[in-house]
Amino acid sequence: MAKITLHGNPISTNGDLPAVGSIAADFKLTDKDLNDVSLADFKGRKKLLNIVPSLDTPVCATSTKRFNNEAADGKVMLIISADLPFAMSRFCGAENTDKVVTLSMMRSKNFAKDYGVLIQDGPLAGITARAVVVLDENNKVLYTEMVPEIAQEPDYDKALAALG
């Protein structure tokens, strides 16, 4: 269980991020067109999973825009949150973030549980902590970061260096 904070107040997640070197758990998330999506949909591509509580918060919006600007061929930036696909699409349209793939946990919290990012207590219980997971083309975990303070941005440089 990871210990993180929200504006300095301690909260906990259900577990820990996947170990570097392990194979990432498959998932079923919902895309902007309400389709179920899994890791197999991104086979053969490096993946950066930007896991955020909600795109309706300034730090989540900032990280999504930053990773959108860093998107490159052969790599996919997945933005994963509890937001509904409609809200995520509205955000991306308004912010011109057309290079990221938004994925919602609207049908299941299994992703958050399997990746150890489900917040267990405090005012954000039931949604995700802020984290970054980088996977290679075969879903091997190359890098993880559980951001210790939810109101803090992730370490973009380390995540992008791991993505290559």
pLDDT tens per residue across span 121-136:
999 999 999 999 999 9
Is the pTM above the cut of 0.85? yes
pLDDT of residue 110: 95
Delimit the domains of the chain by residue range. 3-163
Q: Reply yes or no on whether 92 is catalytic.
A: no
For residue 80, which of 121, 29, 45, 36 has the smallest C-alpha distance? 29
So what CATH class is 3-163?
A: alpha beta
Q: Which two tokens stand for residue 3?
A: 């210990």
Q: Kindly report the average pLDDT of the chain as a whole number.
A: 93
pLDDT higher than 90, residue 83: yes
pLDDT higher than 90, residue 95: no
pLDDT band for position 89 (cuts 50, 70, 90): confident
pLDDT of residue 31: 96
pLDDT, tens only, 18-60: 999 999 999 999 999 999 999 999 999 999 999 999 988 888 8
pLDDT of residue 43: 92
pLDDT band for position 101 (cuts 50, 70, 90): very high
The span from the CA of 26 to the CA of 111, in Å, is: 8
pLDDT of residue 39: 95
pLDDT of residue 57: 86
User: Which is catalytic among the residues 17, 51, 60, 79?
Assistant: 60
